[in-house]
Structure 1
Amino acid sequence: MTRVLWLAKIADASHVPTRAELTAGTDLTDGVAAIDGWSLANKPIETPTLGSTFETKIPGADEADDSSLTFYEDQTADTIEELLTKDVTGFMVMLRKGDVPGSRSMDVFPVRVGSRSAQYSVDNEAAKFVVNFSITEKPVQDAAIPPAAPTTERPATK
């Protein structure tokens, strides 16, 4: 159900893509073999007091986990390799429940590609490569998926 899209640009400063931007993006879903990271964590700040042996904490800075996508090698096309070159910037969009307009299940990660490397193996498995990403700004979480483009069907004639 989950869809994984690569968008080179998003016009909105808040990083929420339009339907046209989603449609223009590259759907990477079928090439993904594994996903790692793509979440936020908070680094709490300890706030001890002299009057208690209990050490309290308050929320501190948020940080993104190290994030990567592992892809299957394609014997005939280099689409993903050409899109995700070292240092390229863009947006990784995760539609957690699929492309369901109105669902608040879209996460948008502003990213920069840190590296891309083949995963060599002598095991009986599909060839793969890993792309490591740095999340460069605070991700947008739980955004509403924009409405689908209206259809332009003509009414049936008699």
Structure 2
Amino acid sequence: MAPGPGPASAPGPGPAPDRALRLVQKVSSTRAFAKVAPHVVPVLDRTVHRLTRGRVLPSARMLPGLVLTVPGARSGRPRVTPLACMPEGEAESTWILVGSNFGRSGHPAWTANLLARPEEAVISWRGRSIPVRARLLEGAEREEVWRVALAFWPPYAAYQARVERRIRLFRLERR
């Protein structure tokens, strides 16, 4: 499995210097970041993404990112969530999502929505709307992807160490 572009090659003005990247990884691994980031990062991403009609996603300056729209598991109403992702391969036809929830105790709501409605998800990827099918990864496939995810973004290890739940991993494929 090819993880696609890494954090330093995320869309933006150019590669982030290694020192800056390490600093961001260190900060994002902290409990303080886990308390603040869920209230700031998604709101900023959603607002800028909407205002630029899908062309700009601020968090994608450090990590590749997409905006997931999937009906709510109970309400059925569209839920829009900006997320970091791991694109797979050059064809831009599959993406990995990590349900880390910034290392907080509960699974993020978007994971329950994907479990309930895996055929109804749509992503905004680099300004394009793409219908996708979601699949929860399990077993050996999950373990292989988890190893790639840790190499891709090491703070995931700190997130997993803080929680008792097993972080959910999903593969999104074009429909």
TM-score clears 0.5: no
TM-score (norm 2): 0.37
Between Structure 1 and Structure 2, the one with more strand by share is 1
Q: Which has the higher helix share?
A: 2
- Structure with greater Cα Rg: 1
Structure-1-length-normalised TM-score: 0.40
